A = this chain, B = another copy of it.
Amino acid sequence: MASIKDVAAAAGVSVATVSRVLNAHPSVSADARARVLAAVEELGYRPNAVARSLRTDQTHTLGLVISDVLNPYFTELARSVEEEARALGYSVIIGNADERPELQDHHVRNLLDRRIDGLLVSPTDGGSPLMLDAARAGTPMVFVDRWIPGLDVPVVRADGRAAVRDLVAHLYALGHRRLAIIAGPAATTTGSERVEAFRDALAEYGLALPGAYIGQGDFQAESGRRVTEGFLDLPEPPQVVFAADNLMALGALDAVRARGLRVPDDIALAAFDDIPWFVHTDPPVTAIAQPTGELGRAAVRALVDRIEGRTPRSVTLPARLVVRRSCGEPAAPAQAPSADLSPSPVQRSTS
């Protein structure tokens, strides 16, 4: 592969001049510039990003460590992150932690070794020493979706409290009184927050959230199934199951169906995180939708602000309830009943 030296030789100038041309430095004669550009074209020269990074100590690369690529929520997040980063002149390297802390550490270490300019993390746990050290050592960092308390790191996330309250109102209006939740890992902020928001909302209606109605999941489908089976085995099973993420909702749907029961007739189902597929499931699933794309973009902007010396801001955006049919008819007033017939969110503009 041609290097800057080859270009310099071909153009009859020094490497310094070539570098100046490539970096749009003003101090280059028109003549030299033309000869350099001709040589670049001729040789098909492309600057070696590795060498450049070594010298400038910048990689123009962001690391994104997410909890689970197979979760459509995170896939969409990753997509919007890459898009915004590209618009700002950065590339993104994605690390999939698969909800496993040790894998998360592996990726963080790998990304740090590659000297990425900044790190976007949706932590799988409460924070490993590695991550805490990196944050304290001054690695530009932004948390997205989930975060680790006690660190001076900006957080970009959705606030689901209001939407959870709307959901409970909706369920109450439909006559449901025994409501259960499949929680995420307590070590994650989203894991514990959603339970809390749910409990608080229930309290407003004078409803309790007994221990038996809190199932411990891990954000994966299998745990949703297991927990739901436990609920169904109770002497007095809940009338509604609220899953703290979309994969666990899927597992719950499986468990209900495996018993030959029907949603919502025998038991109602709702989920945190809305995804395009919920429109097409049987029945369409009532869910709390996060502004995922906007979260990804805001997170990138905050991180790049931090990298480029500006002051990053934490951002909290509201989530909203999307009513479909999995909790019973008729649809609540908050939402048009035809929601599940509207054009699928799977489509997107590609202009």
Within 8 A of B (CB), among A17-66: 44, 46-51, 53-54, 59
Whether B113 pairs with A46 at a CB distance below 8 angstroms is yes
A258 closest partner in B (C-beta): B341
Whether B110 pairs with A91 at a CB distance below 8 angstroms is yes
Instruction: Choose one: B53, B98, B109; the contact of A46 (CB below 8 Å).
Output: B109
- In the assembled complex, the Cα of A54 lies from the Cα of B53 at a distance in Å of 10
Whether B96 pairs with A82 at a CB distance below 8 angstroms is yes
Number of interface residues of A (CB under 8 A): 60
User: Which of the segments A160-168, A202-210, A277-285 contacts the partner chain?
Assistant: A277-285
A343, CB-defined interface residue at 8 Å: yes
Taking Cβ atoms with an 8 Å cutoff, the residues of A that contact B are 44, 46-51, 53-54, 59, 69-70, 72, 75-76, 78-79, 82, 86, 91, 93-94, 96, 98-100, 106, 109-110, 112-115, 133, 220-222, 225, 247, 250-251, 253-254, 257-258, 276-277, 279-284, 341, 343-344, 346-348, 350
A-B contact pairs, 26 of them (CB 8 A): A46-B109, A46-B112, A46-B113, A48-B115, A50-B53, A51-B54, A54-B54, A70-B72, A70-B79, A70-B348, A72-B72, A79-B96, A82-B96, A91-B93, A93-B93, A99-B350, A221-B346, A225-B347, A250-B276, A250-B280, A251-B344, A251-B347, A257-B341, A258-B341, A280-B281, A281-B281
